[in-house]
Amino acid sequence: MNVITIGLLFASVIAGAIVVEIFKPKKGRNIQILLTFSGAYLLAVSVLHLLPELFSHNTNKHIGLYILGGFLIQIVLEYFSQGIEHGHFHKSNVIPFSVLISLCLHALLEGIPLGGHLHNSAQNALLTGIVLHKMPVAIVLMTFFLQSNIQKSKAYFYLLLFALMAPLGVFAGNLFTALASLHNEIMAMVIGIFLHINHYSF
């Protein structure tokens, strides 16, 4: 399952780049609709799958604080990303690396629970939600790169870095025992991140 998971996470970003190359979408309503849909799906996944599983297996009575912590983490990340994951960006000849770094950290964090031991239904729902979220974000990011008048080779290199982050999160969740022992806490933070994404999606 991990090979399929990693392949789908990577392919979702590549699909976003292909959409940009073929259709050359501009900043506007169509991209915003995609982002809103992916946010709505993540909200459904969080409420119907992730939260019930989290609270049915959790023994930490302070787990709500981790959900709030994830919400606050996303606020900080969006401060540095300048809201690009919601379709908000301004044409510039300089790529702010804070945007790329914050989006990469976001992708890394949301990939970690996929490397844990979720039930199949929650695993599949979370994977689908992340894939649906990453593709429109990749479209916005690639459009931002190209409108910033940087070399296309650099644009694809930066997009490749972004594409690798969620698979690295899966490996991290699978390999590091310290992360495995904190699975519920990490899941709670990711839920908080998703809830903040939904706050801006509607």
Per-residue pLDDT, 24: 77
Asked if pLDDT for residue 129 goes beyond 70, the answer is yes
Number of domains in the chain: 1
Is the Cβ–Cβ distance between 198 and 41 less than 8 Å? Answer: no
Q: Which pLDDT band, with edges at 50, 70 and 90, does 168 fall under?
A: very high
Torsion on CA atoms 171, 175, 181, 186, rounded to nearest 10:
-10
Per-residue pLDDT, 110: 87
Greatest alpha-carbon span in the chain: 51
pLDDT higher for 128 or 91?
128
Distance of CA 120 to the CA centre of its chain: 20
Residue 179, C-beta contacts closer than 8 angstroms, at least 6 positions apart: 112, 115, 172, 173, 186
Per-residue pLDDT, 125: 86
What's the rounded mean pLDDT across residues 6-33? Answer: 83
What is the share, in percent, of the chain residues with pLDDT greater than 90?
A: 21
Q: Domain of 116?
A: 2-201
Per-residue pLDDT, 108: 92
Average pLDDT, the chain: 82
Q: pTM, whole model, 2 decimals? A: 0.84
pLDDT tens-digit series, residues 43-102: 888 888 888 888 887 677 888 999 999 999 988 888 877 666 655 555 554 556 788 888
Is the Cβ–Cβ distance between 126 and 108 less than 8 Å? Answer: no
Per-residue pLDDT, 166: 93
pLDDT tens-digit series, residues 135-153: 888 888 888 888 777 888 8
Per-residue pLDDT, 160: 94
